[in-house]
Chains A and B, each alone.
Chain A
Amino acid sequence: MSSGIRDKVAILGMGCSRFGERWDMGAEELMVESFTEALGDAGIDRKQIQAAWLGSCMDEVNVGKSALPASIALRLNNIPVTRVENYCATGTEAFRGAVYAVASGACDIALAIGVEKLKDTGYGGLPGLDGGSLPPLWWPNLSAPGVFAQVASAYMSRYKVPRDVLKRALAEISAKSHANGAKNPKAHLRNPVSCDTIMASPMIAEPLGLFDCCGVSDGSAAAIVTTPEIAKSLGKHPDQMVTVKALQLALSNGSEGGYNDWDGSYIHTTRVAAQRAYAEAGIKKPRDEISMFEVHDCFSITELVTMEDLALSSDGGAIKDVMDGFYSADGKIPCQIDGGLKCFGHPIGASGIRMVYEMYLQLLGRAGERQLKNPRYGLTHNLGGFPHQNVVGISIVGRYQ
C-alpha cells in the first residue's frame, strides 16, 4: 500500500512571471523571469538543482518540442530535464514530476517550470487542435469554449435551470474573479467588471459570452522543491514551510465519451481525483477544511461545476453558493483569490504551477492586498482537454506544521 505524498516534499521557492499579452517577451525570457524569482526565493544556486521538468503545451507556438529550451534558457547544469505535456493540466504535470523525483529520493532538489507563449498566433483564443492523423478525419473542429459550453447545455437540462438563471450565476463567477484579479499586480486582466457587462458580452459559444472565457496569456511559473529535512538544513523554518499534502491526477479512459452513462453535466475525472486527493491529505470534510482554492476556470461554467465536483457544493447547489458569495474573497472558501485563469490569465503550461504559487503566497502570508486570514489548506485544480475526455490534476498544499 502506497503511503502517498503527504508532507514528503516541501516547496523551497516559487516564482511567477507577470501574465498577459507579453509582446515584449518570448517563452525563453518568460522562463527566466519566473525562474529568477523562484531561485531567489529558494536561496540556492542553480547548480544545486538536480533535475527539472518543463511543462509546455502548444507546440504550434511557444517553445517547440523537447525540454532543451528550458535547459538552454536557464543555463541548467547539464541535468536531466524532461518536457511534459498533458493539455491544460500540463503545469500540474510538471510539478508532479519534480515532486515525485524528490519524494523518491532520486534527487534532493528539483525544479518544475511551466511556460506558454500563446500570443504568437495572430488571433484570439487558443491555437486549433489538429493533433494526430485520425482525429482530424472525424472530430468536429472543436474550440475550447465550444466544448465547455456543452457542459452548460447538460447542466441546464439536468437541473432544469433556466438559461437566464445560469447566465446570471456565470456572470457572478466572472465578476468575482475580475474583482480579485484587480488586486493582483501580476494578473493579465486587472479591471473590475459588472455582471451586466458580462452578460451583455458578445456570444462566443452558446451560452458562453466573451466574459465567460478566461484570458489567453503569455506567462511562466516555477517551483523548486525538496524534502522538508533539506529545506530545514537550508534555513527554512518549519513554521514558514509549505508542503505538498496531496497530488493526484485522473485521466478519462473513454467512458464519458463512449459509454452511455455520464450525462455531461459534470467532470467525472475531477470527482475521482478530488476524492483521492482528500484521502491522501487526510481531509474528511472539504467544505469545512479547505481554506481556499484555485480551480481551472477556463470558462465560468467549468468553475461552477467544479464546485460540485470537488464536493464543496452539493450537486445542483453551486448556483446558490455562488449567488450567496460563498466563494467570493470575503466568503467562506474564497475561490480564485488571485483572479484565476479568468483574470490572472491562462498560459497553458504555467497555469497549474501558477495556482500553487498563489496558495504558497497565501500560506506564507505574502499575498499582499488579497491576503486571506490564516489559511490552512489550499487546493489547486487543473483540467486539460474536453469535458468528455480530459486530464485532471489536483494538488493540496498546506503549512508543514
Chain B
Amino acid sequence: MIGITSYGAYVPRLRLSRAAAAQANAWANPGLLAQARGERSMANWDEDSLTMAVEAARDALAGRSTDGIGAIYFGSSTHPFADRQNAGLVAAALDLPESIGSCDLSGAQKAGTAALIAALDRVAAGGAGEALVVVGEHRRARPGSAQELQYGDAAAAFTIGGSAVIAEFLGGHSVSVDFVDHYRGTGQEFDYIWEERWLRDEAFQKWVPAAVNAALEKLGIDPGAIDHFVLAEPVAKLSALVAKRCGIAETVIADSLLGVVGHAGAAHAPLMLASVLQKAQPGQTIVVVGFGQGCDVLAFRTTATLGELPTRSGVAGSLKRRKEERNYPKFLSFNETVSLEKGLRGEANPQTALSAMYRNRRMLFGLVGGSCTKCGTAQFPPADICVNPSCHHQGPMQPYRFADEAAQIKTWSADWLTYTPDPPAHYGMVEFQRGGRFVADITDWDLGKVEVGQPVRMVFRVRGRDAQRGMVRYFWKAAPLAGAGEN
C-alpha cells in the first residue's frame, strides 16, 4: 500500500482584512466592495513560498524521523529562484541528508498535485522509501485588482510512503488542456486574467467535470461514496458545478478556505487536502482535483493509522494563529507592489559570498551548530574550540540542530534606526534551554509585547533581498510563541 504517511500546513499569521483593502481602492473600483468580506492570508515581509513550505514541512515532520526520506518535491508557481533549486534549499532548511533526490515543479496551478503525483510515482517505482512533498505559494497581485482580494499565501506538506500510510493512494487521472483563464509570462510581475464567466462556463461546466467522471470511472469509485471532494476552485461556487455534474453530493464538498485564506494557487488543493485530513475519519474516500491547464484527479482512502497520527498544527492550528492586518499600504509594501522610502540605510546591499554560503550551508540553512564532545555544551555558530570558558576543548564537534530547540528571549530591543521593511527591527539575544545562544532577528512580533523571558520558536525566514542581483538570503529568526497579541 502506498499513500500519504503524514501531512502539515502553514498559513501566515497575518490576515489582510478584505474590507480594508477594498475600501482603499473603492474610489477607483467600487465593485471591489462586493468582495469586501472576510480576510486573506498575508505573508510577512520575510516570508515567501519557500519559507512557508519549510514551515509546512516542519509541521508534517514534527516528532518523527526523516531517515527514510529519499526525495523531495516542491510545487509552486512562485518559487523564489528560477534557476537555483528551491526544493534543495527546503531540504537544507530541514537538515535532510544530502543523499536525496530533489525536484521543483512549476508552470501551472496544478504544480501542487503534480508534485504529489511525482512523489507517489517515485515511491511506487521504488525510487525512494519515502518522499516529501512541499507546496507553497506567495501570490502577488496588482494593487487595486480583484485578485488582490482573492489570492492568499499558504503552504502544505505531505510525506508519501509505503508503510504507516494514513491515506492510501487509490489512483489518479490527468488531463492536459491549454485552457488559459489566466497566465503570467516569464518575467511578468502579475497574472493577466480573462473574465470569470469563461472560466465557469467553458472549464467548470465542461472539461473539468468530464475529467473527474473519467477518473471515477477508471478507479471504480461510486460518486455517492465520496466523503470529501477537494477542488481548489479559483473563485467561489465552481466546485458545486462540478460536483453536480459528477453526481457528488454537495455536502461532501471540502471547505474551500477562500473566505479565510484566499486562493493559494498551486498550494491550494494540497492545502485543502491537508485540511480534510485533519478532520477525516478512517475509511473515508477523498477525491482531490488540481486545476490549471488541465487537471489532476487523485483519489485516496484514509486508513486506521490516520487516527494514530500525533496531533499537529495543520490548517486548523495555522488559522488559529492569526493577527488581523488592516493596514493596506503595509500589505502593498510587504509584497513590494509599492516602493516605500527606505532611507539611506536601506541602500546597503553587500554581495552574497556564495562560497561562504556553501561552506556554512548547514549552519545557515539547517541552523546546525555544534555540541562539544567533551563538555556537551551546545553552541552556535559551530567552532573548532568549545565556547565554554571552563572547557575550550579543541576538536570536531557533534553537529547540533537548534531549529526545534526550546528558546527564550534573553535581551531585546525594538530598533527604529536600522533598516528593515517592517520597523522597528526587533532583535535580541535568544537563549536555548538546553544550551546555546546567539543574537537573532525577532519576527512576527507585536509592538510593545516583546519581553525578556518570552518563549520563542525558531523559524526559517528571508533575512534580506538583494533586488539588484536577484538573491534572497535566508536565515533563522525567533518568533514569539502564540499568546501575546493574538485574537
> Which A residues fall within an 8 A CB radius of B?
121-123, 125, 128, 130, 133-134, 136-143, 145-147, 149-154, 156-157, 202-206, 208, 253-255, 257-261, 263-264, 386-388
Contacts and interface: CB of A to CB of B under 8 A. Distances in A.
A237 B411 CA distance: 51
Indicate the member of A121, A141, A254 with the most B CB atoms within 10 Å.
A141
B425 interface: yes
B60 interface: no
A342 B61 CA distance: 52
Give the top 4 A-B pairs by smallest Cβ distance, nearest first: A146-B415, A149-B413, A133-B353, A150-B411
Interface residues of B, number: 52
Interface stretch (B115-123, B181-189, B427-435): B427-435
B386 to A, nearest CB: 9
A372 to B, nearest CB: 35
B352 interface: yes
A259 B431 CA distance: 9
Interface stretch (B82-90, B140-148, B356-364): B356-364
Interface of B: 343-345, 348, 350, 352-353, 355-357, 360, 363-364, 377, 379-381, 383, 387-389, 410-420, 424-425, 427-429, 431-432, 435-441, 452-453, 463-464, 473, 475
B431 A146 contact: no
A259 B412 contact: no
A122 B346 CA distance: 13
Contacts of A152: 413
B452 A157 contact: yes
Q: SS class of chain B's interface: helix, strand, loop or mixed?
A: mixed
A206 B413 contact: yes
B345 to A, nearest CB: 6
Contacts of B463: 137-138
Nearest to A253: B389
Given A137-B364, A206-B414, A258 B387 contact: yes
Contacts of B418: 128, 141-143, 146
Given A146-B427, A205-B417, A258 B357 contact: no
Contacts of A145: 413, 415, 417
Contacts of B364: 137-138
Contact of A140 (B344, B381, B424, B441): B441
A130 B437 contact: no
B414 A205 contact: yes
A126 B378 CA distance: 34
A234 B436 CA distance: 57
B437 A205 contact: no
Contacts of B387: 254-255, 258-259
A177 B439 CA distance: 31
Nearest to A202: B416
Given A141-B418, A149-B413, A156-B452, 15 more contacts: A136-B352, A137-B360, A138-B364, A138-B463, A139-B439, A143-B418, A146-B413, A146-B417, A150-B412, A150-B413, A205-B424, A206-B415, A260-B432, A264-B410, A386-B439
A153 B379 contact: no
Contact of A205 (B383, B389, B416, B438): B416
A260 B418 CA distance: 27
Given A140-B425, A146-B427, A151-B411, A259 B379 contact: yes
A205 B436 contact: no
Contact of A264 (B348, B427, B429, B432): B429
